[in-house]
Structure 1
C-alpha cells in the first residue's frame, strides 16, 4: 500500500484535491451567495488544483454569517445604550427633518439607524483635511493637547519619519498619565520591535488586529481592519483615507504626489466613533472593557452639521456602507461625483450608476491614472466600458496617486471614509465612513472634486474602445478575479 502511494503520489493528491473542491462547491451552492462570485470560485477550484483550494480557504469563508466578534458586549453596556437611545431620532423628528432639510435623503438616515444602530447626530463641526501634511499637522496638535485618553485604530502604521513622530508622542503622553490605546492591523502595519518595546514600556496599551504568522506574505488575503480612527478625550475624532506613513505625506523627496482626504470631527458624532473603537478594542485586547461616562464627555457643540457614522465589516449583519452608497445613488436628482482609488464594484452599484446617468443625472467618476496594484488596475479597467455605455464621465487623475474615498450628491449628501468602491471594502474588510447631510460641507467637497478634475484627463470612450487585445485579455482575467479580491 505504501509503495503504491509513493508510486502514485501525484494522482492521490489530485484526487484528494478534487474531493475537497467538490465539497467546497457543494458548500457554495448551499450558501446561495452571489452567482458571479460562486462561478468565479468554481472556475478557480476546477482549473487551478491546490491553488484554488488555497484561494477558497482565504477568501471564501462567510464571516458575516459567522461573526468574527460580538458587538453586543459593548452595545448592550448601560452607558452606550443610554447614549444611543438619547441620540436616536424618533419617527416624528425624522419626519420633521424630511420636510425641512433632507427630503428623500431621509431614507439613508433611516437605513443606517435601523441596520447599523447608527443614530443621526445633528450638532457637529466637520473639517475636511486634504492630504497627509494637513491632516498630521492638526492631528499632532490635538494629540499634544490630550488630557485624558487617546484612542487610535489604523490599518497602516509605520515607524518611519511621520510614524515615529506620532508614536513617540504617544509614548510621551502615556508617560504623562494620559491613557493611550493603540490598535493596528497586523498585515497592513510594520513597526519595529524596538518601537513596540518602547510603546509598551511607556505605558501605551498596544494590540495587533488578528495577528498572522507571516504578514509580509499574506498581503490582501485576509479579513483586515481597514479603518482609520482617532478619538481624543471623547471630544475630537478623525477618520478618512490617510494612514500613518510617509507615503501619505508629500515630502519634497517623495517619488509620488499623494492626493487624499480625511475628516476632523467634533460634536455628537464622536459618541458613535468612540463606540466603534471600543467594539474593536474589546476584541483585540481580549478584555471586557468597562465603559464609563468618562469616555463620552458632554461637550456642547454650536455647529449644526448632521452626521452619521457608518461602520461595516464581517461583524455587521448588513453591508451597511455599500447599502448607503447604493441608496445615495438611487435617490440622486442632479449629480453624483465619486472619487476612489479602486473601482471594482458589484453589479448593484454598476446598475445604479447606469440608471442614474441614463435618467439625466450628471455622474462622474475620478480614478487614478496609474494604480499601485496591477490586478486592481485591470479589474477597474474591465468595468469602464459599462460606464461609457451609460454616458458616465470617467476621469483619470494624472498629478499623482489619488487615494481619496469620497462621494458627493446633490449639494446635500456626502461621505468621506475608508471605503473603496470594491468587493473587499463592501463585503470583507472592516470599514468606517462619515455620512454627512449638510449643504456647506457637500458644496465644499464638490469644489474639491472639481478642483481635482483640473489635474485629471477625461477619458474618450472611442479611443478606449481601440485599446489592444492584450489589454482586453488582461482585463478579462483580472475581472474574473474581481469578486475574490
Structure 2
C-alpha cells in the first residue's frame, strides 16, 4: 500500500515538473536535457532539477522587483534620440535592458590585482562623509575583513551610514561572530538569499555575483575582486590571484549606487530613496562616457549575454577577452567564430590553472572549435587569472562581474561597466598583450593531438556546462 502511495506521489511530482518545463523552458536544448535527466535518473533527476533548473521568474524575488519597478517612472525612451555616433545601437541596447544611459564627466582608474585595488578602496572609504554601500559575492574572514571592520567603526563614530549585502552562498564561510560584530556596531547588514533548508531548493541556484562599493553616491568600484585575503596572500593550491577592478568618480557612480539600492530593496524591502530614471549624457564626444549594464535571472532578456554578443559583433579590427570561465552559449560561439573568420583578430586569455576541474574541462572543451576558426587562445600560467574583461578596436571596453557562461547570463545577478573611451581601451589592450606575451599560445595542430582521456574529460565537462 505504502509503495503504491509513494509511487503515485512520485508520478504526480514528475508530471508537474514536466508540465512546468514545457510551459516555461526558455531553451529547447536545455529543456530536453532536463526531461532526459528526469526520466533517465529516477528521483535524482527531480532533485537536480529542483536545485538547478527552476525558473526564477516565478519566485518571490520577481514579485519584489516588479513592486520596485512600479515605483519607477516609465523609462524615457526619447533619450535614445540623443544617442549618437558609431555606438548608438549598443547604447540603445544597453539602455533598453538596464535603463542606464551613458554618462560623461567620469574620472576612471583601472585597478589591477588585490593590493592596488584595496589601497584605492580603503582610501575612498576613509574619505566617506555620509554613507558607504558595500556588496560582495564572496566576503571571507581574514585580515581584509578585520581591516574593514575597524574602518567601519571609525566611520560610524563620525556619523557615516553603512549598509552591506553579502551573498548567502558565496559568503557561506563568513563567521557569525564577524556578522554579529558588524550588527553590534550598527552596520546594516543583510544576506542575499541566505542558506536556509526551508528555502534550499528555491534559492540555491540563483546568486548575487555583484561586487559594488559606493561612497557618498559619488565614487564607486566594481569588477571581479572579492573580499578575500587570497587576493593579497595568494592561494595555497593556485598561487597568486590576478583580477581587475575599476574606480569610477563621477555620474556613473550614482548608477552603480542605484543597482545597490535595488538589491537593498530585494533583501529588506526598504526603499532608500525615490528611484529616478537617470538622464543621459548631453555630450557624446566626451572621453569619459560610462554606461552601467546590470542583469539578473528575473529580467526579461539576458542583458550581459547580449552585451558581450553585441560588442563581439561590432568589432572591426580586434576583440580581446580575458575571462576564467568561457563556457559560451551557441550564440556567443557563432559570434566569436564569425568575427574570426571575417578577419577580426579574436583573442582569448584564460587561466591555465583552475579552481574547479569540471569547470576547467568544460572551458577547454570549446578550444578545438575556436582554434579551428582562427581564434587565438592563450593560457596564463602564473597563479589564477580571474579578470572579466573585453576590449575592442581601441574604442570600447567592458569590466565587471559577469563571466561568459550561462550562470552569469541566466542565473546570477551581475553588473558591468561599459567604457566608451579610447585611452582606457588602449590601457586594457596593452595589459592584455603584456599578459599574452607571458602566456602559452595554443596551436590547433598540436591541440588536436591531445590524449583521448583529456578529450573524454572535456566531453564530460561539456555535457554539464549548462549547469555550471
Tell me the TM-score normalized by structure 1.
0.88
3-state DSSP class of the match of 1:249? helix
Contact 1:395 1:459 in 2 (8 A): yes
Greater CA deviation, 254-263 or 318-327? 254-263
Relative distance call for 1:349 and 1:158 in structure 2 (3 A) is same
| Match for residue 470 of structure 1 among 453, 464, 467 | 453
**What residue number does 1:93 align with?**
82
What is the Cα deviation at residue 26 of structure 1? 3.3
Q: Deviations over 1:288-320 (max 9, x none)?
A: 334499xx9xxxxxx840111000002322111
1:309 and 2:292 equivalent? yes
| Match for residue 47 of structure 2 among 45, 50, 54 | 54
| Match for residue 178 of structure 1 among 142, 153, 160 | 160
Alignment of 1:255-404 (within 5 A): 256-291=239-274, 304-404=287-387
Q: Deviations over 1:359-415 (max 9, x none)?
A: 000000111112101111111111112212211111111011100000001111100
3-state DSSP class of the match of 1:90? helix
Q: Deviations over 1:90-125 (max 9, x none)?
A: 34431xx31xxxx1x221100011222111112211
Paired with 1:309 and 1:41, the residues of 2 have a C-alpha distance of: 34
Contact 1:155 1:225 in 2 (8 A): yes
Paired with 2:215 and 2:347, the residues of 1 have a C-alpha distance of: 36
Paired with 1:131 and 1:445, the residues of 2 have a C-alpha distance of: 14
Relative distance call for 1:370 and 1:279 in structure 2 (3 A) is same
**What residue number does 2:14 align with?**
21
RMSD: 2.7
Paired with 1:428 and 1:150, the residues of 2 have a C-alpha distance of: 27
Count matched residues: 458
Paired with 1:19 and 1:201, the residues of 2 have a C-alpha distance of: 48
What is the Cα deviation at residue 129 of structure 1? 0.1
Q: Deviations over 1:205-225 (max 9, x none)?
A: 01111111379x99x942000
Relative distance call for 1:71 and 1:28 in structure 2 (3 A) is closer
Tell me the TM-score normalized by structure 2.
0.91
Q: Deviations over 1:186-236 (max 9, x none)?
A: 111132222212111111001111111379x99x94200000000000110
Relative distance call for 1:262 and 1:170 in structure 2 (3 A) is same
What is the Cα deviation at residue 23 of structure 1? 3.5
| Match for residue 137 of structure 1 among 95, 116, 119 | 119
3-state DSSP class of the match of 2:61? coil
| Match for residue 424 of structure 1 among 407, 428, 431 | 407
| Match for residue 456 of structure 1 among 433, 439, 443 | 439
Relative distance call for 1:169 and 1:253 in structure 2 (3 A) is farther
| Match for residue 41 of structure 1 among 34, 37, 50 | 34
3-state DSSP class of the match of 1:430? strand
Q: Deviations over 1:234-280 (max 9, x none)?
A: 11000000000011224698961111000000111112111110000
Relative distance call for 1:32 and 1:282 in structure 2 (3 A) is closer
Paired with 1:324 and 1:180, the residues of 2 have a C-alpha distance of: 32
